[in-house]
Amino acid sequence: MGSAMAMNIHKAGFPLIVYNRTRSKTEPFAKLGIPVANSPREVAEKSDVVIEMVTDAPDVEEVLFGKDGVVHGAHPGLVVIDMSTNSPDYAKYFAGKLAEYGIEFLDAPVTGGDVGARQGTLTIMVGGKREVFERVKPVFEAMGKTIIYAGDVGNGQMLKLLNQIVVGIDMLAVAEAMALAKKAGIDMEKLFTVLSTGAANSFTVQYYMPKMMKGDFEPGFRAAHLKKDLKYAIETTNKLNVPLPGTALTLQLYNALVAKGLGEKGTQALLKLYYELAGINDG
């Protein structure tokens, strides 16, 4: 997703320098004459705004505070935007530690998947100082269609975790309906028509169910990443004493999916687990 988002920033006319831990992933940018940095430090030295999009909080910490991290290229006015998904607590931790170097911070996770990243139609949820958000808002508008200022640092991550709760439980519901339909001999195309045109309609039904019907489990969003997001949601709800049994169940099912070696498949691979539990041989 990060590469597509960076390309949209370039297309919007912003000067750009890129870095990736896997250098081959920067080749499309180099071919366009876009400079490729050798480290996050170099990106920071040559930028007013640093955006990082990585897998999890430890990766964010390495990019920001590692040996050649962003903080070593700090200069007055630098803004760091974390567009990864982790947790409100991590966002506050990153903001506090960056402030020691005079760096402003926004947490700005996204939803909309690989399609939204390519098309520049992501929904972006932003936490941090309002004046910093307003200063960099045109950059967000290059990547997303719906930009939401969520308030204080951490609120962007909180909104994203709430989104992931619904995403996960919605996938569980679709997988359960499809497993029962398969066992009961219901035509899957007819089930799709009912779900996609009635009260059960959702992005999961529209986008993922056709893939599930074809046995296409390649990732638009990886199962292991949803497991990680739901883990952060459960950690947060435990601190706030809010019971979320549906989220807890969904996390355990994705734990099982990852344990079966399917973590790098798309979230829709949950159907494979349901078919196995129901004794359905789908080839």
What amino acid occupies position 64? Answer: L
Of 155, 147, 102, whose CA–CA distance to 128 is shortest? 155
Enumerate helices (H) and strands (E) in the chain, giving the number of each: 14, 6
The verdict on whether 231 is a catalytic residue reads no
> How far apart are the C-alpha atoms of 128 and 122, rounded to whole Å?
19
Of 230, 219, 113, 112, whose CA–CA distance to 165 is shortest? 230
Element (H, E) at 107: strand 104-107
Do 91 and 153 meet the contact criterion of CB atoms below 8 Å apart? yes
Catalytic residue among 160, 227, 228, 272: 160
Q: At what angle do helices 130-143 and 2-11 cross, to 10 degrees?
A: 90
Do 130 and 237 meet the contact criterion of CB atoms below 8 Å apart? no
Q: Which residues are catalytic?
A: 160
